[in-house]
Structure 1
Amino acid sequence: MCGRYVVVASVEEIEKRFQVTAAQLPFDFQPNFNLGPGSLAPVITNDKPNELQFFTFGMTPFWAKKRMYLFNARAEGDGNMDNDPDYKGGKGIISKPSFRKPIRSQRCLVIADAFIEGSYAEGLDKPHLVYLYRRPFAFAGIWDVWKNPETEQEVHSFAIITTTANPLLQKIPHHRSPVILHERDERRWLRAEHLQEITTLLEPYPAEEMNAYPISPKVKSPKATGRELIEPVGERLQPELELRMKTELRLQGMGAGKRDHRH
């Protein structure tokens, strides 16, 4: 599962990296080192691929009678319930009631700088920060629009698609990993029309292009959002080459720079 992640890149950095323009923001966008369900987060949707938007993390399907927070969507659907990392079966997400429409026509890039994962036995009592050697990056996401039957207010929300654990996640150990898109596949994810092309992208990200280290269980509190949450409390799970050490996720300088969003 991926229920907490880190977003610290400035709006300007995201705009440059993904070649998008941010709409006027309804709030003061600040770095968040512990972004969880219910929070507004940056996304790029297939219907507005050149615009940076902010949707609620935790998807409510359009047909729901009340608010829901489906923050993850299993690529395998009801398949691979044992979470076998070597699973090669079908992508059952295409037939799940909550996801079968969004996976076909409502996909998005979920912008992140890192994510937080706990062990499958101890959860966030034993959390790790997982990062790529490039940032920011994009999770494969799906989105929907739900209208509150009482207030008529529309809620735009999203879920992150998960798949089998790669060798790095298995070291935590955790049984799932979010689908992280290669940079070359980001636009392909947004514009793909055929299910075979879409589901082909739902694979684990290469473990050699990422790393992780243990952090404090203080991250369990959804109210905690500060930089101190990602301070390492132990060694990295994989040794790093000197070249990668120069480009790894750095604690200092993350989220630097603010933007005046007044227009």
Structure 2
Amino acid sequence: MCGRFTQIYSWAEVHEQYNLILPDPIPNLEPRYNVAPTQRIDIVVQEEGGRALARARWGLVPFFWKKSLKEAARLSTFNAKSEEAAAKPFFRAAMKARRCIVPASGFYEWRTEDGQKQPYYITAAGGEILSFAGLWETWKDPETEERLVSATILTTAANATMQELHHRMPVILKADQVDGWLVDGDQELLVPCDPQMIEFRRVSRKVNNVRNQRADLLNSE
């Protein structure tokens, strides 16, 4: 699974990695050190002219949802199992037509050590931005008529590296697989990445409190 992650890249880095169609920096691209469900995230989507960076709520709200956004938050749709998403009503339409990449500098996972939850930070072994396969959706609030873009991260079974921490992990795509997901929706890509693509290290327990958003969260204790 993936319940917390970071987005601490620069505009130049994300623009170069995904060859975005916007040549100029977008506003408010600030570093995010402890992103949690229901918060705003950056996503990469395929538009007619190419790839673009967009903003979404983390936690997918299907277009047919008739209840409130507060009730939608209880659904825990910030992750979707890649093995099941195509058959699930909440994700089925997005799997066909609204796929995205969630760029991440890294993500957190926990294991219990000495009776306490100890966070670990998982990053690309080469230091590049991780490309999580995701889905996005547009929903209209039945009360306010406002439109909301939301997204989920697809997960898969853990590879040999992640198995030391958890039995699930995000679907992480290589650079040459991004079009295969965004454009073609190739579900054969929704598998564990090469174990050598990622590495992890122990970080501060301050990560456990979602209100902590500073760079020192990534420091070892």
Scaled by the length of structure 2, what TM-score is found? Answer: 0.88
Give the counterpart letter for 1:43 in structure 2: I
RMSD after superposition = 2.2
Q: 1:114·1:129 contact (CA, 8 Å) conserved in 2?
A: yes
Aligned length: 212
CA–CA separation in structure 2 for the residues paired with 1:53 and 1:12: 15
Give the counterpart letter for 2:39 in structure 1: S
Q: 2:112·2:118 contact (CA, 8 Å) conserved in 1?
A: no
Q: Which of residues 157, 161, 165 in structure 1 aligns to 2:150?
A: 157
Partner of 1:63: 64
Structure with greater strand percent? 2
Q: Which of residues 231, 235, 257 in structure 1 aligns to 2:219?
A: 231
State the SS of the aligned residue for 1:101.
Answer: helix
Q: Which of residues 135, 153, 158 in structure 1 aligns to 2:128?
A: 135
Q: 1:137·1:183 contact (CA, 8 Å) conserved in 2?
A: no
Instruction: Report deviation, 1:226.
Output: 0.8
CA–CA separation in structure 1 for the residues paired with 2:161 and 2:112: 14
Q: Which of residues 101, 116, 128 in structure 1 aligns to 2:93?
A: 101
CA–CA separation in structure 2 for the residues paired with 1:19 and 1:120: 40
Q: 1:8·1:33 contact (CA, 8 Å) conserved in 2?
A: yes
Partner of 2:79: 72
Find out whether 1:200 has 2:207 as its counterpart.
Answer: no
Change (3 A) 1:232 1:187: same
Give the counterpart letter for 2:9 in structure 1: A
Q: 2:159·2:192 contact (CA, 8 Å) conserved in 1?
A: yes
Q: 1:120·1:175 contact (CA, 8 Å) conserved in 2?
A: no
How do residues 211-226 of structure 1 correspond to structure 2 at under 5 angstroms? 211-226=199-214
* Structure 2 runs not aligned, ≥5 long: none
Q: 1:140·1:189 contact (CA, 8 Å) conserved in 2?
A: yes
CA–CA separation in structure 2 for the residues paired with 1:232 and 1:158: 31
Scaled by the length of structure 1, what TM-score is found? Answer: 0.75
Find out whether 1:175 has 2:135 as its counterpart.
Answer: no
